Amino acid sequence: MIVKWFLAIGIEFNKIFKVGIYIRLSREDGDKLESDSISNQRDILQRYIKENRLIFVDEYKDDGISGTTFDRVGFNRMIKDCEEKKINMIITKDTSRLGRDHIEFGYYVERYFPEHNIRYVAVNDGVDTFKRDSSANDMLVFKSAFNDMYVKDISNKLRSSLYTKKRNGLFVGA
């Protein structure tokens, strides 16, 4: 019965998942060694691993680095470990933690991970690429686009705010 259930949701029953958790925050959190958000992400992901009885292999972290670029030290190390078959599953808190660039995000989730047989899970978004009939997976394209738009929207708001301050003769330097 349980084997049929796993097969029905697209998970191989005997597949062993070696998990890498990926944690990212775009700006540093004061003078702390590690931001609170990073710690919270880690707690969520470790709880998921424990609840699902997965095998934790490594943590990949980029603290203070924007999601608009995929050229990040922790991310690149994680991809290298995928290629060396050290991990075959990546878990993030949500899709925006993997990255906010719509095109690059799509490349990894739609092409790279499937080609390398990497399972991707975004816990809070309900995404699991090994589940075939998941509405959350169907919404990935839109979620990714919204994550990308969020960055552009914030950028426009900051530019507008700076322009208004300059126009009003207020100081905007460091």
Q: Name the average pLDDT for the chain.
A: 78
* Predicted model pTM: 0.70
| Cβ proximity of 127 and 136 under 8 Å | yes
Express each pLDDT in 42-87 by its tens digit.
999 999 999 999 999 999 999 988 888 899 999 999 999 999 999 9
Comparing 90 with 8, the larger pLDDT belongs to 90
d(CA 77, CA 99): 15
